Amino acid sequence: MKKLFSTLFFVFLVAFGVLPSYSTPIDIEYENGVYHIRVTGGQRTMKKKVKVYASQDLMTNAEMHAKSKAELTVNAGFFDPKTGKTISYVATGRNTLEDPRFTDSLYSDFVLRRNLSKILNRTEFRIVDCNGKYKYEIVPHNSSVDFTCDIVEAVQGGPLIIPELRLEEEFFILKNGDEVVRESCSVLHKVPRTVVGIKGDELHFLIITDESPMDMYEVQELCKKYGFDRAMGLDGGSSTSMNYKKQYNVVSVKGDGAGRRLKSFIIVKP
């Protein structure tokens, strides 16, 4: 009886704001075909809630959402849909899980081989631990961390959007003079997009749906509107996916409606 009273008293304190609730604070707004997701909670969220996952076999965003029992799941890095191998670095639990240097398709094309260093240094999202203080980063993959810091979670995508687009530097476009002769990931065309941004200690996602497809220049203007400190693209087009609790199941309308089978994900735990 005493234990039951203590439990009820604790619930009462949480309910009336005397003690903090530890559910992950996630706000979602929808406007003109775009979901804007804001994840707050500071250090606790960074340390315990936001995780990166990669699947051994490809699976849909909804399947990963259910398997991981996440509160929020979004699609993340690039991959080769023919082989299921990664084209983006993925790290979780301080260990590299997926390494694109072992993906054969990056070596089968002469132009890709010539620009491999640019592809391997595309922008990535990180959670970094500096002597117990956590922070989000959006930086090129080869960017070093301070001596006292460790990369805990990371997933590569690209391109960098805020503070500046790096389409050529990350080999999303190839130019001959002023003419674009090669384009990757439809960066110059209007398609659905998944974007991750940082604003102070807040984590933001934009899920830009088929209702309002955008090119990367339009995405950059949208990120400026939201005041992001830094932002980057993740895999988009038919890969664009988001699940929140059992309330939202967002996929590109291309395909059978179940969503594309994917390689990596960013997850926010409840």
pLDDT at 254: 62
pLDDT at 255: 55
Three-class HEC string of the chain: CHHHHHHHHHHHHHHCCCCCCCCCCEEEEEECCEEEEEECCHHHHHHHHEEEEEEEEEECHHHHHHHHCCCEEEECCCECCCCCCECCCEEECCEEEECHHHCHHHCCCHHHHHCHHHHHCCEEEEEEEECCEEEEEEEECCCCCCCCEEEEEEEECCCEEECCCCCCCCCCEEEECCEEEEECCCCCCCECEEEEEEECCEEEEEEECCCCCECHHHHHHHHHHHCCCEEEECCCHHHCEEEECCCEEEECCCCCCCCCCEEEEEEECC
What's the average pLDDT block by block, 10 residues per block, for the chain (270 residues)?
Answer: 41 44 82 98 97 95 97 98 96 97 96 97 98 98 95 98 98 97 97 98 98 98 98 97 97 73 97
| Cα separation, 125 vs 231, whole angstroms | 9
Q: Which residue ranges make up each domain of the chain?
A: 42-185+232-253+262-268
pLDDT at 268: 98
Q: Among candidates 79, 76, 81, 84, which has minimal Cα distance to 193?
A: 76
pLDDT at 257: 57
Tokens of 110: 């002469």
| Cα separation, 23 vs 120, whole angstroms | 36
pLDDT at 258: 65
Residue 33, burial from CB neighbour count under 10 angstroms (0-12, 13-18, 19+): middle
Side-chain half-sphere CA neighbours of 102 within 13 A:
9
Count of CB atoms situated within 10 Å of the CB of 25: 16
